[in-house]
Structure formats: C-alpha cells, structure tokens
Amino acid sequence: MKILVLGGSSFFGKKLVRKLINQHDTDVTIATRGLTKIDEEISSKTRQLVIDRTDLNSLERTLGSDDFDVVYDQICFNPVEAKIAVEVFSDRVKRFVLTSSMAVYDGTPELLRETDFDPIVFTTDLTLASYNYKEGKRQAEAYLYQNAPFQVISVRPPAVISSDDKRFAFYIAKILKGEPIGTLGSSTISFISANEIADFLLHIGTKTDYIGPINANNSGYYNTEELALEIGRVLNISPIFDIKEKSPYCVEQTLKISNELATSTGFTFRSTKAVIRELVNEAVNVK
C-alpha cells in the first residue's frame, strides 16, 4: 500500500508515520517543509520530500507522476489548500484523509455528532485574505466534499494531549510548583491522546472503507478545574485556581463530541480519565 503523509514530522503526525512504517505492506512517503529534522528511525524507512503545501506547482513538481492508495493531509487549513489538493490528487489517490478538528462545531451543552456540521452544504470562499482556524477547517472540509473525485474522510479530533505536549505539561508543572491554574473561560471539552489519534488515523485510512466526517476522541469530558483535579489526584497534590487567568484548553465554549460512529468502525477508545492518569505518570517518570 502506497501512502503519502503531508506533514508528519512532529506531534501525532510523527506517531502516525511510525505506526504506518511498522505495517508489513506499506510504502510511506513524507512530504514536509523540511524545517523539522526527521528521526533516524523514520527517515531510514521512508522517502522524504520537501514541499510548499500552499503552492500547487511545488506539489505537482515534487510528486511527479507518483500515485497513492492513501494520502494523509495533516497540514490543510483552508479551502485554498483544499483546492490545491483536489487539483494535485484528482487522478492519483484512492482515499484522502484530512485531519480536521472538533473546532468545526459550534459550542453547545449537547453531545456533538458528525451531522451537527454538514460540509456538503457549507459555503466556501476562496477569495479571503486569511481564515481563522475554525472557518478554515470548515471550508477545507466543504471544498473537499463538494469537489473531490476521490474518497474523502475528515477526522475531527478534539484537544490532543500527550506527556510531552507543552499544554498538558503546563498543568503538571503548575501543580508540582504549587502555582495557581487559571480557569477563565473554562468549559467542558473532549480530549484524545496523541497515540490514539495516530492509531485511529491509521485505522480509518487503511483498515476500513469508511467515507465522510468522523469524530475521534477518548470517552469522557473535562473542564479546566476537573482536568487539574484529575492530574492532582495522580500527583497526590491539590491544585489551586485563579479565576482571573486563562490556561490551555480554556476555549470558552462547551464542545463534547461523540465517538459512537468511530467506535462502530471497529475502533476502541479508552476513557479520558485513564489517558490522563497514564500521561501524568509518563511525564513524571521522564523527569
């Protein structure tokens, strides 16, 4: 199976690449801006290309006549970049997996399902000078579903956490130092571990024939205080709070996404609580 990963040199993209190369039947190519050094473990088992993701000619020139069974696009952030993908890959890919985001949804106390944002009917505008993250991901999905001749899967992860992520480490450090954690804008949101989103991307792209939008998240939701308290229980330290300051994941809107559809494809998600406890222990042991 020939696979191209656009991005893939950092965070969960790197984890995805590692998992792909460990499959027995994969031929993996990574295309990045070339700004981040690729681990020897990965570079020795993949082909690396340097591209400008925002430049149609750069992609066409660098990819040449290559075709792929699956393309994972980790670095598509707006409809202009989605249009480039359609033009470049229209006759050279079977399945196109876009890393989208929970941010496509509007905040609500209700549990959010894939149908709560429908990219098929969403309007795109290729003329804007810039796009904020939410609008960019919405329009990227919309352009792909409305124009791509290949199979499109848009994976919508929530906040991605790992033991080596600065946002998650912020909480651990604050609690260990006895410093207050800001709760301004605290709201209940979903999470997923970096390792599990990488596992799910591999699963949905190469192990299933699923097409369409799909959420991917651990089971259970936390606001800022609850997250800090859970981390504190692992550390056996009670966190203190400051209602006037913000912290990572204070997004000011409730975003609880359902993983029911993703689970129906045969993937099993752990509980958010189990993930938090595991990541805290990993981080502390590394230190």
Could you please report the per-residue DSSP string of 247-278? -TT--SS-BEE--HHHHHTT--PPBHHHHHHH
- pLDDT tens for each residue of 193-217: 999 999 999 999 999 999 999 999 9
Contact 79, 11 (CB under 8 A): no
Q: CA-CA distance, 83 to 143, in Å (whole number)?
A: 7
Phi then psi for residue 61, to 5 deg, are -65, -45
Residue 126's Cα: distance from chain center in Å?
Answer: 23
pTM exceeding 0.75: yes
Strands annotated E in the chain:
2-6, 27-32, 47-50, 68-73, 93-99, 111-112, 151-156, 159-161, 181-182, 189-193, 212-215, 221-222, 241-242, 256-257
In the predicted model, residues of the chain with pLDDT beneath 70 are 286-287
Among the residues of 151-223, which ranges form H helices? Answer: 166-177, 194-202
**Superfamily for 2-158+192-215?**
NAD(P)-binding Rossmann-like Domain (3.40.50.720)
Contact 182, 248 (CB under 8 A): no
CATH architecture of structural domain 161-191+219-255+266-286: Alpha-Beta Complex (3.90)
- pLDDT tens for each residue of 22-52: 998 999 999 998 878 888 888 889 999 999 9
- 230 C-beta neighbours (distance < 10 Å), count: 18
Q: What is the dihedral of CA 32, 38, 44, 50, to 10 degrees?
A: 20
Pairing of strands 221-222, 189-193: antiparallel
Q: What are the residue ranges spanned by the domains of the chain?
A: 2-158+192-215, 161-191+219-255+266-286
What pLDDT is stored for residue 39 in this prediction? Answer: 81
